[in-house]
Amino acid sequence: MSVVTLKIDDIECTGKVGQTILEVAKENNVQIPVLCDLKGLTPVAACRLCLVEVEGLPKLVPACATKIQEGMVVKTNTEKLKNYKRMIVELLFSEGNHICASCVVNGHCELQDLGYMVGMDHVRFDYLWQSFKIDSSHPKFVMDQSKCVKCTRCIRVCDEVEGAHVWDLRGRGINVRVSTGFDEPWGQNKDCTQCGKCVQVCPVGALFDKNATSSEMIKDRSFLQRILEGREAKIWVR
Amino acid sequence: MGKVRIGTVWLGGCSGCHMSFLDLDERLIELSQVAEFMSSPITDWKLHTPIKEYQDYPEVDITLVEGAVVNTDNVEVLKIVRERSKILIAFGDCAITGNVPAYRNLFKVEDVLNSVYIEKATHNQHVPSDRVVVPRLLGKVVPISHVVKVDYFLTGCPPSADSIWYTIKCLLENKQPEFSRENYRYG
Ligand code: SF4
Ligand code: SF4
Ligand code: FES
């Protein structure tokens, strides 16, 4: 197996061919913020929180979807990157209606985690206060669009792991929404197996258990780990 | 050196932040050794017609402002208080983000007023128009930092007593409070 050597934040690292910058950074205890990335799902590089600088490249690249190369020099925490990342998190907060105090995942939320990570003590942008739909037609779960950060984890897990492909994106720009086919109520969707995988991978309080109230819900992703281990041991193949 | 002069103000919030301030418990005694409370809704400074009384808001070193900016009075009070405070702290999530009071931003003001004062009222159904008694609502609830310059943000709904203590201690010791998960929380 060929080995690649590279530098991440002045740390000499080695990785295997095919690994991403994010994976190697993690192995070397360099923390890069992520939101859309989730081990076990195909990377889509949607959120841009993992952007890094690579010497010699004119553009910033997403660490979650960029493969390592021999001799790469990567910077993950420059002033420019810090500034962009704080802006991204602030824009996410200003775009949805994230009222933490009344949210089911308050205290166990990946968007909050990111806020602490980038030092967001307040949002400098105007809050948009768009009106969003809440779909509570499903017998077990609720979808609150006002908290959705469009990471597409739910879409990917339902398609790639459960094989049901209930969700997809519709609309453009600021009007993008996660939607069932023909936007029919989730509870009427015939493909949904009620497995709850989308609910568990959702990083925020957009998808949640019907009986959960404020600050109550902690997502459980252990099923993904089991599936990954199964794949690695070739018990399950895709 | 004389005592540090502290004031607190209550705009569009539930008073939970002030209650959390009282949760400083025995630390309040320590605080009273070095600080003096100049004006606060939890001292016996009663206000009935807010704007007139706030004209007398004293010059202070630190003001903690609880609550979002929801009406025309809030705007005027906030401006006065900013002028008279060396350091102004946004105290709690309502002051910082709009938080729960800002839920009404999803509706038109007229619809909110109609719903509260007419549709759901059982007596005397009319929308109050005398602005001395009931200040006019703003079109949108906004964070205080959208109206005046804010020096520090003390997050939480309400902020924990520990966060409050940490922030005040830092300022008393001339240190910059550091925003991190250890010192603050959202929600
Ligand atoms: S519960 Fe399972 S099948 Fe239904 S939408 Fe979510 S992931 Fe797909
Ligand atoms: S519902 Fe949750 S998992 Fe799906 S895109 Fe929105 S934030 Fe991501
Ligand atoms: S984690 Fe890489 S773009 Fe979202």
Domain definitions of chain B by residue range: 4-104+139-172
pLDDT of B48 > 50? The answer is no
Higher pLDDT, B53 or A18: A18
Whole-complex ipTM? 0.91
Q: What is the model's pLDDT at position B132? A: 67
Q: Tell me which of 3.40.50.300, 3.30.70.20, 3.30.2130.10, 3.30.230.10 is the CATH number of domain A97-233.
A: 3.30.70.20
Average pLDDT over residues B105-115: 95
CATH, domain range A3-77: 3.10.20.740
d(CA A38, CA A116): 20
In 3D, which of B65, B76, B80, B46 has the Cα closest to residue B144? B65
d(CA B93, CA B156): 5
Q: What is the model's pLDDT at position B55? A: 82
* CB of A197 shorter than 6 A to ligand 1: yes
pLDDT of B50 > 80? The answer is no
Q: Lowest-confidence range among A138-142, A208-212, B40-44, B173-177? A: B40-44
> Which residues from A are below 8 Å from B185, CB to CB?
107
A-chain residue closest to B140, CA distance:
A129
Average pLDDT over residues B53-64: 89
Contact B143 A120 (CB under 8 A): no
**B32 alpha carbon – ligand 3 mean position (Å):** 49
**A22 alpha carbon – ligand 1 mean position (Å):** 28
Whether B139 has its CB under 8 Å from any CB of chain A: the answer is no
Mean pLDDT in runs of 10 for chain A (238 residues)?
A: 93 97 98 96 97 97 98 98 98 97 97 98 97 97 98 97 96 95 96 97 98 93 88 75
Q: Please give the helix or strand (H or E) that residue B28 lies within, else none.
A: helix B27-34
Neighbours of A209 (CB within 10 A): 16
CATH, domain range B4-104+139-172: 3.40.50.700
Q: What is the model's pLDDT at position B49? A: 45
d(CA B23, CA B19): 7
Residue nearest to atom 3 of ligand 3 (CA): A45
Q: What is the model's pLDDT at position B83? A: 97
d(CA A110, CA B69): 28
Q: What is the model's pLDDT at position B138? A: 96
Q: B15: burial class by Cβ within 10 Å (0-12, 13-18, 19+)?
A: middle
Q: What is the model's pLDDT at position A234? A: 83
B-chain residue closest to A117, CA distance:
B180
Q: How many helices (H) and strands (E) does chain B have?
A: 7, 7
Q: What is the model's pLDDT at position A235? A: 80
d(CA B135, CA A20): 57
Q: What is the model's pLDDT at position A231? A: 82
Domain boundaries, chain A: 3-77, 97-233
* CB of A194 shorter than 6 A to ligand 1: yes
Q: Please give the helix or strand (H or E) that residue B65 lies within, else none.
A: strand B60-66
Average pLDDT over residues B23-29: 97
pLDDT of B79 > 80? The answer is yes
Give how far A86 is from chain B: nearest CA, Å: 13
Q: Which tens digits make up the pLDDT trace of B127-162?
A: 988 666 788 999 999 999 999 999 999 999 999 999
